[in-house]
Amino acid sequence: MIQGKLETFEKAVMRDHGNIAGIVVLKDGETLYKSYFNECNVNSRIHIYSVTKSVISILIGIALDKGHIKSLDQKVLDFFPDYEVKKREKTIQTITLRNLLTMTAPYKYKFNPYIKYFTSDDWVKFSLDLLGGKGKTGKFRYAPLIGPDIMSGILGKAAGQSVLDFAQENLFAPLGIVVEGSIIFHSKEEQLAFNQAVDISGWAADPMGVNAAGWGLTLSPVDMSKIGQLFLDHGIWNSKQIVSAEWIEESTKEHSRWKARNLPYGYLWWIQKDGFAAMGDGGNVIYVNTKKNMVVSIASLFRPRVRDRMELILEYIEPMFDQ
């Protein structure tokens, strides 16, 4: 019976979700399904876009566990004592790390100045220069690209090492995830090629060597599923506590809400009815259903407009494997 359901499911993937590179389904810690599409395979590494944000959230939790960060209520500017605040700029002085994690920090831009951002030598300073303004602190404003890098700057300063080095030591190596190095783009063409590639292992960084926080990490579907399983297992991997259960509980409950779309948000995780999810452009997803003890990871090649992956998960994947 499941074979017939699988065939129907895979037809739906190819018909309606044609940019998917790979899918992994875990239940009770066991792999129930693993398949690759679009000529991808176990060695493929896919740019996961905003799923990177949820990885940054984990790293901030680890830094908090280790005492590198004292509190989420620390002011952002506490981490950047040499940053020169512009005259009459008051708002930036009240913004906390918690505001960044919950997307409740205001920014001065109405439209994302992508070209200026990508051609900037220092993404953290570029983002700090746009933080604050006349907007209201505490009101949800999703910052897809410009803004999250401030958290990379905070992590680097708090931990005393690069974001990638901190991640390698405290998250990737323990989980058996290989990320080969930082990637610095020297041209628009290099970056566009990176977005389409399936064979580059790394994490995008600015010319200063600071890894992007809102995008830029490449992982495999199996890597993504490991992160989901880590959260399902309350931060324990191979009998070792990687990140505290308290952080996982706190970061995956609602702290803010995108009211226009009625989407609850945690600490860089989207909150779902029976769990939570990391989501990125093109349909990249790490979905964790805590009630069904299930993890679904979907890695996808970039495409501007795609069908909702949660629709695929809830309509096909969960019913098929929730036996």
Same domain as 112, residue 247: no
Same domain as 268, residue 175: yes
Count of the separate structural domains present in the chain: 2
Q: How confident is the model at residue 5 (pLDDT cuts 50, 70, 90)?
A: confident
What is the C-alpha separation between 22 and 8, in angstroms, rounded? Answer: 17
Same domain as 142, residue 283: no
Both structure tokens of 301:
């090649």
Residue 133 included in any domain? yes
Q: How confident is the model at residue 88 (pLDDT cuts 50, 70, 90)?
A: confident
Same domain as 132, residue 80: yes
Q: Among 152, 177, 195, give the residue marking a domain's end.
A: 152
Same domain as 194, residue 171: yes
What's the CATH number where 174 sits? 3.40.710.10
Residue 31 included in any domain? yes
Task: State the Cα angle at 116 between 114 and 120, rounded to 5°.
Answer: 115
Of 185, 144, 195, 160, which Cα lies nearest the Cα of 66? 160
Residue 44 included in any domain? yes
Same domain as 124, residue 14: no
Q: Containing domain of residue 246, as a range?
A: 2-52+160-321
Q: How confident is the model at residue 163 (pLDDT cuts 50, 70, 90)?
A: very high
Same domain as 262, residue 178: yes
Percent of the chain clearing pLDDT 90 (strictly above): 91
Of 297, 289, 259, 258, which Cα lies nearest the Cα of 272? 289
Q: What 3-state class would DSSP assign to 260? A: coil
243 Cα distance to chain centroid:
16
Residue 236 included in any domain? yes
Q: Among 152, 183, 217, give the residue marking a domain's end.
A: 152
pLDDT tens digits, 207-231:
999 999 999 999 999 999 999 999 9
pLDDT tens digits, 13-44:
999 999 999 999 999 999 999 999 999 999 99
Same domain as 285, residue 186: yes
Mean pLDDT for the chain overall: 96
pLDDT at 173 exceeding the cut of 80: yes
Site of tokens 């505290």: 244
Residue 63 included in any domain? no
51 Cα distance to chain centroid:
3
Residue 32 included in any domain? yes
**Could you tell me the end-to-end alpha-carbon distance of the chain, in angstroms, rounded to an integer?**
12
Instruction: State residue 1's pLDDT score.
Output: 54
Query: Which ranges of the chain would DSSP assign to H, the alpha helix?
Result: 2-16, 51-65, 97-101, 114-118, 123-130, 149-159, 163-167, 173-175, 188-196, 221-232, 245-251, 309-312, 318-321
Residue 29 included in any domain? yes
Same domain as 129, residue 148: yes
Both structure tokens of 312:
């695929």
Same domain as 194, residue 243: yes
Same domain as 88, residue 233: no
Helices then strands (H, E): number in the chain? Answer: 13, 14
**Taking residues 73-81, what's their average pLDDT?**
98
pTM for the structure as a whole: 0.97
Q: Among 108, 124, 152, give the residue marking a domain's end.
A: 152
Q: How confident is the model at residue 142 (pLDDT cuts 50, 70, 90)?
A: very high
What is the C-alpha separation between 212 and 150, in angstroms, rounded? Answer: 9
Residue 61 included in any domain? no
Same domain as 174, residue 142: no
Torsion of CA 28, 256, 175, 311, to 10 degrees: 50
